[in-house]
Amino acid sequence: MSPLINPSFLLDSPLKLVFFGGKGGVGKSTCATATALKLAQSYPQKHFLLVSTDPAHCLNNILSNCELPTNLNVRELSAADSLHKFKLKNDAFLKEIAVRGTFLDESDLHGLMDSALPGMDELAAYLEIAQWLKEDNYARIIIDTAPTGHTLRLLAMPDLIHRWLNALDTLLSKHRYMRSHFGKDNRLDHLDTFLLDMNATLKMMQALITDKARCRFVIVMLPEAMITKESMGLVHTLDQKRITVSDVIFNKMYPKNECPVCVAEYNRQAQSFQYLLTQLQNYNLWSLPFFLEEPRAAQLTHVISELRVIDKNQQRKRVPNVLLPVHVETPTLLPLSPLRLMIFAGKGGVGKTTIACATALRLHKKTPQLRILLLSSDPAHSLSDCLNVSVKSIPSSICLNVDAQEINVDDGFEKIRRSYRAELADFLGKALPNLDITFDREVMERLLDLAPPGLDEIIALTSIIAHLETNRYDTIIIDAAPSGHLLRLLELPELIQDWLKLFFSLLLKYRKVMHLPELSNRLVKLSKEIKVLRALLQEPEQTGLYAVTIPTYLAMDKTYEMTQALARLGITIKALFINQLTPVSECNLCQALVKRELVQLNFAQEQFSGLSQTRVYRQCDPTGLEGLTQLGLALYL
């Protein structure tokens, strides 16, 4: 390995914002935290901010018992708290704009705006980051992002904010016209200033994140097949958004030795590593070893000292190895009667997709006549990579009676938007003589733009109900989004339901002004589907959630938090899979891993004593139908 050369994100420079991102479980939080500590120690005269945008925060866990430098602040961004601050500051402006701009009653508008705002937590969080940058109290802000899918939604916030500001500006346009035309008053009032300030903040943020001198995105990855594909997809998306990716960190690199376990992992990494070197020629590449101790608190400063630049001409050739057998302890019992929903959930990077796929094929093996749908609700889908089969946004056949689907969350809501605009255009065409078409039409067209973010994901999930109600499938197996995103999604239906009720009541109340039967029927159907989905999730005879974790401190801690939250939501947890355990070996690395994993296994025995616990050991990649079928046979009795 080459000697340490400091990457750009550790140097004193105009850099203001550094994102650390990638698939769950690759070490983003560790790298982001280590970077923040190193910067604070290296430049004591400057102030730094470390922020987590992951709903399943872990910064405080990593930094527990660590005395922070006085020039480093740490924030685990609570979207709910950000939203509360946003409402306190801006609620009166928003409601005044809405009242000025439509034919709706003030009470109706207040209800609609209040119900829309609970879903605007990500927007508020995005604006809070923008405010920190605007205040310029920190030399640099380091952001520990959520797993890929959730991060891409956060980075898509500018599009939502543009749409939202346009909707609000349209609401003001009529009042602005009347004031100018009849009062000859062209001055900007406090509401115009409010929108202009919001728009200026958005432009400032957009200019900053696309400025390569002031903003960088550091991708953290493991050189493994499924992680490689998702990471490269993130690289391409960031490139499209003109966000500079300067550095890529390959984490947990296995050494070359004679241990069968290490050799198997080394070879698995080597295969992806050579491919990545050809794909990432224009980036700065770094490596971190697999540490004997899980880096936390004081050990974090050691992480940066181990960062090494990668020679792009370096070869990491595979070496002869003995294939590791499938090794599972205490297999889980398959349900005596097939469940309608089986949900696999956990922190990012723990192997949910692999175990969900293996479960579908094991269930098929046991009951070939059962019609099974394997469905991914993770914004960063992995079913295709795991199955080695092309999976689409509509159900695709994997084998007889087994289909797979990767939900496209944008499709469902966009269909409603298009249908709404078409129906509205038809109605307004007939009602044209009775409406001030210049403004009222624009206001009505943009009402759906005030819908809460998250509605698109709920609409996508309700496709589950359509599959079950038509008896197309007997069982649906869900590869869920990482735990933080999943919990947010499971809490959304109640908020969405409130918004739907209000929106539908407005359509009924004002049906003479905007008679839209097709939209009304679609919203009624959506409301019913959400109710059915909520009831189904809380029915233990029909729905079971299977938690997946790995034997690390952070993963176990987050799994415990997830199970507690799911229990509060009334969702039954059937079993726990502890994945990626290290087989016993004589090498120092494996012995150290086994020792630290034993601590987590003891924690699991204590905290999840009422759950069936299946232990799954490291093995060769169980991808493709044959490998996943073998894994499924070992996982279940």
**Identity at 468, one-letter amino acid code:** L
Q: Using 50, 70 and 90 to split pLDDT, how confident is the model at 404? A: very high
Mean pLDDT over the full length of the chain: 80
What stretch of H or E contains 275?
helix 260-279
The residues pairing with 547 across neighbouring beta strands, listed in sequence order, are 345, 576
pLDDT at 127: 77
Q: Using 50, 70 and 90 to split pLDDT, how confident is the model at 439? A: very low
Average pLDDT over residues 304-310: 87
Q: Residue 620 pLDDT > 80, yes or no?
A: no
Written in H, E and C, the secondary structure of 386-424 is HHCCCCCCCCEEEECCEEEEECCHHHHHHHHHHHHHHHH
396-399: strand order across its sheet: 328-329, 612-617, 573-581, 543-549, 341-345, 475-479, 372-376, 402-406, 396-399
The residues pairing with 142 across neighbouring beta strands, listed in sequence order, are 18, 50
HSE at residue 523, side-chain half, CA atoms within 13 A, is 24
Task: Please report, rounded to a whole number, the percentage of residues in the chain having pLDDT higher than 90.
Answer: 30
pLDDT at 115: 52
Report if pTM > 0.95.
Answer: no
Where are the extended beta strands (E) located within 17-163? 17-21, 48-52, 72-76, 140-144
Burial of 463 (0-12, 13-18, 19+ CB in 10 A): buried
Task: Please report, rounded to a whole number, the percentage of residues in the chain having pLDDT higher than 70.
Answer: 75
HSE at residue 370, side-chain half, CA atoms within 13 A, is 19
HSE at residue 172, side-chain half, CA atoms within 13 A, is 21
**Identity at 208, one-letter amino acid code:** L
Average pLDDT over residues 330-338: 91
pLDDT at 226: 77
Task: Extract the tokens encoding 123.
Answer: 């927007």
Could you read off the pLDDT of 458-476 as tens digits, one per residue? 666 777 888 888 888 999 9
pLDDT at 119: 43
Q: Residue 117 pLDDT > 50, yes or no?
A: no
**Which DSSP state fits 434?**
G
CA distances from 30 to 61, 254, 493 (A): 11, 18, 33
Task: Extract the tokens encoding 387.
Answer: 């199955």
Q: Using 50, 70 and 90 to split pLDDT, how confident is the model at 3? A: very low
**Which DSSP state fits 439?**
T
Average pLDDT over residues 170-196: 67
Give per-residue burial for 51-61: e unless 16+ CB within 10 Å, then b. Answer: bbbbbbbbbeb
Q: Residue 169 pLDDT > 60, yes or no?
A: yes
C-alpha R_g of the chain: 26
Would you tell me how many other CB atoms lie within 10 Å of the CB of residue 584? 10
Query: How far is C-alpha 175 from the geometric centre of its chain's CA atoms?
Result: 40
Alpha-carbon span 26 to 512, nearest angstrom: 56
Q: Residue 187 pLDDT > 70, yes or no?
A: no
pLDDT at 255: 87
Could you read off the pLDDT of 352-380 as tens digits, one per residue? 999 999 999 999 999 999 999 999 887 77
| Domain 11-82+126-309, second-level architecture | 3-Layer(aba) Sandwich (3.40)
Written in H, E and C, the secondary structure of 151-211 is HHHHHCHHHHHHHHHHHHHHHHHHHHHHHHHHHCCCCCCHHHHHHHHHHHHHHHHHHHHCC
Does residue 568 or residue 298 have the better pLDDT? 568
Could you read off the pLDDT of 494-522 as tens digits, one per residue? 666 666 666 666 666 656 555 666 767 77
Average pLDDT over residues 286-296: 85
Alpha-carbon span 168 to 559, nearest angstrom: 41
